[in-house]
Structure 1
Amino acid sequence: MFKLKPISLYIHIPWCLRKCGYCDFHSYVSKEIIPEKKYIEHLLKDFEKDLYLINNREINTIFIGGGTPSLLTANSIKKLLNGIKKRYMVSNNAEITIEANPKTLEYQRFIHYKNSGINRFSLGVQTFNSNLLKKIERTYDSKEVINAIIESKKISDNLNLDLMYGLPGQLLEDALSDLQFAIKYNPSHISWYQLTIEPNTIFYAKKIKLPDEETIFNMLIKGNKLLKKSGYKKYEISSYSKLNYQCQHNLNYWEFGDYIGIGCGAHGKITQKNGKIIRTIKNKNINDFLTGNYLNSIQVVSEKDKIFEYFMNIFRLYQPILKKHFREKTNIDESLIKKNIQIAIREGFLINQLDYWYTTKKGKNFLNLLLEIFLK
């Protein structure tokens, strides 16, 4: 029988005050009062319908993402988390994260969120530069960002700041200044990632120009050095943390762990006792979701897709890839990917050891080329 480990829970809140031009996440602009009471009721019903897939595994991380989850009142968050815990086993020391906007009204709710069980906050800062915030269509200014960080630090030591580099009109010194500001406030975790323009976004339609590749590369190299010097360890392509503050929920994704996804447009991945992996996708249409039509699709992941998805996630991490771990997570023997591994080694992307593989610096720098090998 396939050995099953604890599972994570992702909860999607689909509303935003404004759709940012670069955003390709599933969300709705809130032009009127959010039907949060009704949505929470349906989230819990959606959760109940997925329980048969879990096979009595404890939930050890919960992530409330969006959209902008901090638009919800503290009472709604409390009802949601209490409802989850009444219906299923949640670890006493579970990591429970909420994504939040640095808007004044929203960060004033943080103390109430903590009282509801939230123990990790993730602030979508993006930049401390007010002019750049306008360019990327955020709804707050640098003063609100700083106030939100100060208030969050009073409430919790477990604070992540989301920052982006390669913004329209951003200079190298701007990107480094953002990091210096973030480091000054000593968050436990910094997510620092490059802005990319996806095809189904407003910025793509407008053909928004980003800094040249050389400037972006310099931002990455010098930013990495600054973060390392300041005590932040890079454990994933865009994630840096103080000791023992890695995001456990995201680590579960990158280690090809299992998670339930509830809410409008949410995705789930759940391994069964026979080793099969089930993928669930929830209905993106909010009106349909609020009538009880939760599930859009459910399917068994093929062996080919399992292999690719495993490496697509695990290659993001800065750690050895245990061959035993590959077998445990995919229920596939590594002999099936022997030729792919040999090609990756020959290209200088991987190093092969007795019990593990290790991604080289070249492999990290040309990750897309490395992944293409596992598509074959």
Structure 2
Amino acid sequence: MISPASILGSQSPQLKALPPLSLYVHIPWCLKKCPYCDFNSHEIRGESTQVSEKAYVAALIQDLELALADVWGRRLCSVFFGGGTPSLFSAQAIDTILTAVRTLLPLEHFAEVTLEANPGTFEAQKFADFRKAGINRLSIGIQSFNPQHLHALGRVHDDQEAHRAVEIALKNFDNINLDLMYALPEQTLEEAQADIKTACAFGVTHISAYHLTLEPNTLFHRFPPKLPEDEQAAAMQDMIEQTTASHQYRNYETSAFTQSGKESRHNMNYWLFGDYIGIGAGAHSKISFADKIVRQMRYKQPKEYLAKAQAGESLIQTRHELTAEDRGFEFMMNALRLNGGFDALLFHERTGLPITAVQKQLDEAEQRGLLVHDHHRIKPTVLGRRFLNDLLQIFLPEKTI
């Protein structure tokens, strides 16, 4: 198989222009750790959230200040507060962070600023204050509107709180995403349909519907619940696609459904191999330079992250440059999640590699019916979307012994 490195020889791939830049802010605390969650999140466990909040906000701002040298002069196209449960923090804390962001790295006009929220943390005034602080998009972790399934998933909210959360959000925000999950323990097709119909009926701008998977290092992985069979889960996926389409939502990414023009700009930047600074415990960054692309990860444990910040030390635990092979694979791993695919010229623009670097893989994927491509556009077929892992595996770099 032809590799990008063999095409380029010893020459380092060069980028003629830098991609858009986003900011991800990780807030790692939750009221309770869900049994399916493998994110870097930690239960509060009685610690003073005010003390933790104040110290953590200071560390985040320091983290961003230290990152400036790598992105000086660039503007942010989006900001995303993820977790954990960012809505546990006060509106004042979010306002303090965003004020620092605007001071250090200017935002593009009408930049998307998203806050993830848990229905168990909703207070009407608090969310009105989030809007005043500069949050213009809300992403609510509903997961299900069914009380039995919420209990099985270990969620801290019930179905009534889920409905109330969406109603409060609709009064304060006009750009809202609802996160749902399907193929839940003991879930029937009819129950999955009730969830997606309820979400659509609210008329929110965006819906994400994720297949529940048993991730390593989770309680569900150690003690697996009984999940629907693969055939039934596939039927749920088909039903979700049909139901959202009937409510004028477009399925633009594997798990994402949007009203016209309301795609997640932050996630689109990820999927099209854009750059992002990740600040906060365990946050990841991808930063492009003319002659290299660098990935970084912050210290993962909140206590260690805070201790490093307070000692004035570097908050970056790991840093590595992407090889030419890594660039090609990572671009495809992200961009092929998009149902409409990507412009063929974007591959060279974002990786510095000619499209011929992956030509053999593209041809193999097309021969297997997983992808279609021409000189203008590359996109997965319906079969490729259904068997996305098989499609992506074709682009995996070969391991040398």
Shorter chain as normaliser: what TM range? Answer: over 0.9
2:354 matched residue in structure 1? 333
Inter-partner Cα distance in structure 1 for 2:124 and 2:24: 21
TM-aligned CA distance change 1:107 to 1:20, over 3 Å:
farther
Report how many residues are paired.
375
Inter-partner Cα distance in structure 2 for 1:108 and 1:202: 35
1:107 is displaced (CA, Å) by 5.5
Mapping 1:349-360, distance limit 5 Å? 349-360=370-381
Amino acid at match of 2:262: Y
2:19 matched residue in structure 1? 5
TM-aligned CA distance change 1:332 to 1:107, over 3 Å:
farther
- Cα deviation per residue 1:152-178 (whole Å; 9 max; x = unaligned)? 001111010000000101110000000
Inter-partner Cα distance in structure 1 for 2:208 and 2:387: 20
Q: 1:370 aligns with which of 391, 396, 400?
A: 391
TM-aligned CA distance change 1:318 to 1:107, over 3 Å:
farther
Q: Tell me the secondary structure at the aligned position of residue 119 of structure 2.
A: coil
Inter-partner Cα distance in structure 2 for 1:252 and 1:301: 18
Percent sequence identity is 39
Inter-partner Cα distance in structure 2 for 1:23 and 1:320: 29
Moved over 6 A (4+): none
TM-aligned CA distance change 1:105 to 1:334, over 3 Å:
closer
- Cα deviation per residue 1:241-282 (whole Å; 9 max; x = unaligned)? 1111110000000011110000000001011122x1110100
Q: 1:140 aligns with which of 157, 181, 186?
A: 157
Amino acid at match of 1:103: G
Q: Is residue 2:303 matched to residue 1:287?
A: yes
- Cα deviation per residue 1:104-150 (whole Å; 9 max; x = unaligned)? 55564110000000000000000000111000000010111111101
Answer yes or no: is the 8 Å Cα contact 1:277–1:300 preserved in 2. Answer: yes
Normalising by structure 1, report the TM-score.
Answer: 0.97
Inter-partner Cα distance in structure 2 for 1:40 and 1:104: 19
- Cα deviation per residue 1:48-80 (whole Å; 9 max; x = unaligned)? 111111142100100000000000011111111
2:115 matched residue in structure 1? 98
1:366 is displaced (CA, Å) by 1.3
Inter-partner Cα distance in structure 1 for 2:263 and 2:294: 27
1:316 matched residue in structure 2? 337
Larger RCO (CA under 8 A, 6+ residues apart): 2
Inter-partner Cα distance in structure 1 for 2:124 and 2:27: 17
Inter-partner Cα distance in structure 1 for 2:121 and 2:71: 38
Quick check: 349-358 or 246-255, which moved more? Answer: 349-358
Amino acid at match of 2:386: N
2:366 matched residue in structure 1? 345
Q: 1:361 aligns with which of 364, 378, 382?
A: 382
Q: 1:172 aligns with which of 177, 182, 189?
A: 189
Inter-partner Cα distance in structure 2 for 1:7 and 1:106: 32
Q: Tell me the secondary structure at the aligned position of residue 270 of structure 1.
A: strand
Inter-partner Cα distance in structure 2 for 1:298 and 1:128: 41
Answer yes or no: is the 8 Å Cα contact 1:4–1:57 preserved in 2. Answer: no
Normalising by structure 2, report the TM-score.
Answer: 0.91
1:154 matched residue in structure 2? 171
Q: Tell me the secondary structure at the aligned position of residue 317 of structure 2.
A: strand
1:200 matched residue in structure 2? 217
Amino acid at match of 1:33: S
Amino acid at match of 1:368: N
Answer yes or no: is the 8 Å Cα contact 2:273–2:350 preserved in 1. Answer: yes
Answer yes or no: is the 8 Å Cα contact 1:15–1:28 preserved in 2. Answer: yes
Answer yes or no: is the 8 Å Cα contact 1:323–1:334 preserved in 2. Answer: yes
- Cα deviation per residue 1:174-219 (whole Å; 9 max; x = unaligned)? 0000011111111110001100011110011012221111111111
Q: Is residue 2:58 matched to residue 1:41?
A: yes
Q: Is residue 2:319 matched to residue 1:303?
A: no
Amino acid at match of 1:186: G
1:242 matched residue in structure 2? 259
Answer yes or no: is the 8 Å Cα contact 2:338–2:379 preserved in 1. Answer: no
Structure 1: tracts of 5 or more residues without a match = none
Amino acid at match of 2:369: G
Amino acid at match of 2:43: V
Inter-partner Cα distance in structure 1 for 2:373 and 2:56: 49
Inter-partner Cα distance in structure 1 for 2:376 and 2:147: 49
Inter-partner Cα distance in structure 1 for 2:63 and 2:375: 44
What is the CA RMSD across the aligned residues, in angstroms? 1.2
Quick check: 361-370 or 253-262, which moved more? Answer: 361-370
1:83 matched residue in structure 2? 100
Answer yes or no: is the 8 Å Cα contact 1:166–1:195 preserved in 2. Answer: yes
Q: Tell me the secondary structure at the aligned position of residue 174 of structure 1.
A: helix
